[in-house]
Amino acid sequence: MARIKIVHTTEYTYRNPVGLLRHRLMVRPDDSHDLRLHHADLKMEPEPASIYWKHDTFDNSICFVEWPETLRTKRLSIISTLDLTHHPEGPLLPQYSLETAAEKFPLSYNQSEIADLGRLTGLQMPDTDRKVEAWARRTVAEAGSTNTLKVLEAMTRAIQQQFRYGARHEEGTQTAVQTIELGTGTCRDFAVLMMEALRSFGLATRFVTGYLYDDTSGTTRGGGGTHAWCGVYLPGAGWVEYDPTNGLVAGANLIRVGVTREASQALPISGGFVGNAGDPTGLHVDVSVSAVPIR
């Protein structure tokens, strides 16, 4: 358990004064059994005319921000500060009590689960040559076990070990096929690869966006910005989180902010401006996370 402080700073700069259209923010986690949110603060310059909160399709907490139509500015700054306590689910390698039918990989869901999981079990990206399925089947075969938890852990480690991590700040996510072909990617690319690989076996997965903390080893990848990983639905255990970028299991060092069906639905900040295409001159993002263990 740890007390966490997160400061997420985003700054846009423009060559000429621009108007600001409505922005959508996904930066606030919801209270849950594994997270207690003590305080959340948003500061913006220029000051908006209105701020209101809603829940999206996936029940994530979403903030909508609007500015006066007459406003013109050469800079937009958004600073989100969070103070929370995180209660990880357990040790790095938890032994969940899976339902009997889910203990052997690949598992099957019952009819009531399939009705609710829906699109989360199906492939979301084109793969005409079935490269993702081939990679997934090879990885599962190399796991040396049919135990579901061991297979999922093996796939998490395989992505960490086989692919080169490279930070990429521009928007957009590679397809799973592109990540396999390039052999490199970001945390969001690796999350999507694991999601699609497991969906090729009919497992329900979802994209998770949030923050990474407690990097005392010096080897953790994905800090300094928002982080991404995937959740897998396992009957008897529910949603279990896997971070293929760092080989982390069960969210021990992960602060979940939002969950979606695909990566494009999980942008931390999105919005538009009124001006010329060449007006944007810079985007700076910085995430500072400090963690104090609680005994």
Residues 257 and 232: beta-carbon distance below 8 Å:
no
Residue ranges in the chain whose pLDDT is less than 70 = 89-96, 168-171, 214-225, 251
Q: What is the pLDDT of residue 163?
A: 96
Residue type, 79: I
Q: Work out the percent of the chain whose per-residue pLDDT is above 90.
A: 78
Q: What is the pLDDT of residue 168?
A: 65
What mean pLDDT is reported for the chain? 91
pLDDT tens readout for residues 116-166? 999 999 999 989 899 999 999 999 999 999 999 999 999 999 999 999 998
Residue type, 206: R
Report the C-alpha gap between 215 and 72 in whole angstroms: 40
User: Cα torsion for 166, 170, 174, 179, to the nearest 10°?
Assistant: -10
Phi, psi for residue 135 in degrees, rounded to 5: -65, -40
For the chain, list the strands marked E by DSSP. Answer: 2-25, 35-45, 50-55, 61-66, 73-86, 164-165, 184-185, 205-212, 227-234, 238-243, 248-249, 254-260, 269-274, 280-293
Q: What is the pLDDT of residue 224?
A: 52
Residue type, 290: S
Q: What is the pLDDT of residue 50?
A: 97
Which is it for the CA torsion 33, 2, 168, 41, positive or negative? positive
Q: What is the pLDDT of residue 218?
A: 47
Predicted TM-score (pTM) of the model is 0.92
